[in-house]
Structure 1
């Protein structure tokens, strides 16, 4: 199993963007966004749309995606994290095998600056992030229009 890193310099093809967004949508569980929203975050990370870019990390075995993370750069520091971990998923049958932990560790090593994540308060993945050193700091309140 290898972790592949994509950013503005190691471009994602349209097929890769589609494949990764489909994977994240399918395996993110009940706490996921639309496939379109996921695709936009990947395109932002790959600098296919204007913005600061970010990173897409995927763990594969024989060209089968086992896990994936999307990180978007915010351009902020001190008052907001420089990076936001937007999406993470592990294929159902591979959960509990350390894939999410390895992806998070890779993300922490690869990204410069603070990393934030918005997690639904009922999502059991919170414990995994706490083990990696993440701390609950704020509550997001959002006005949806």
Structure 2
């Protein structure tokens, strides 16, 4: 299994951005965000919109995406982790093959500094992250303004 890495230096094409957006939207399960939000996180990671950037990690088999992760850099440390793992998804038929674990291991190895992830408290993927050493530290509360 090869994980492709994209960042500000190894640019994503618009076609790739659309492919990854559609993949993450389709395979993020019931807790997914809008396509627009997913696309923005990818554009931020690839520095196609202003910001510190980040990373997009993609696993393909026969030119088809089977797993993907998006990490955005925060520019902070100590009080907020330097990296936020924004999205991770694996195509259903590959979920028992360890691709999710490999993507998390690769993210931990590749990213300097601490990494956080926001997970819905009812999402069963929490167990996968706990196995990879992630711990519950805080509860996020949001005031959403429409």
TM-score scaled by length of structure 1: 0.99
Secondary structure of the corresponding residue to residue 97 of structure 2: coil
CA drift of 1:102 comes to: 0.3
Q: How many residues align?
A: 145
The 5-angstrom pairing of residues 42-57 of structure 1 reads 42-57=42-57
User: What is the aligned partner in structure 1 of residue 86 from structure 2?
Assistant: 86
The 5-angstrom pairing of residues 107-126 of structure 1 reads 107-126=107-126
5+ residue gaps, structure 2: none
8 Å CA contact retained: 1:2, 1:61 = no
CA drift of 1:93 comes to: 1.1
Deviations 1:104-124 (A, max 9, x none): 000000000000000000000
Segments of 4+ moved more than 6 angstroms: none
User: What is the aligned partner in structure 2 of residue 129 from structure 1?
Assistant: 129
The 5-angstrom pairing of residues 1-145 of structure 1 reads 1-145=1-145
5+ residue gaps, structure 1: none
CA drift of 1:33 comes to: 0.2
Equivalent-residue separation in structure 2 for 1:129 and 1:48 (angstroms): 29
Superposition RMSD in Å: 0.5
Secondary structure of the corresponding residue to residue 96 of structure 1: helix
Equivalent-residue separation in structure 2 for 1:127 and 1:95 (angstroms): 13
TM-score scaled by length of structure 2: 0.98
CA drift of 1:137 comes to: 0.3
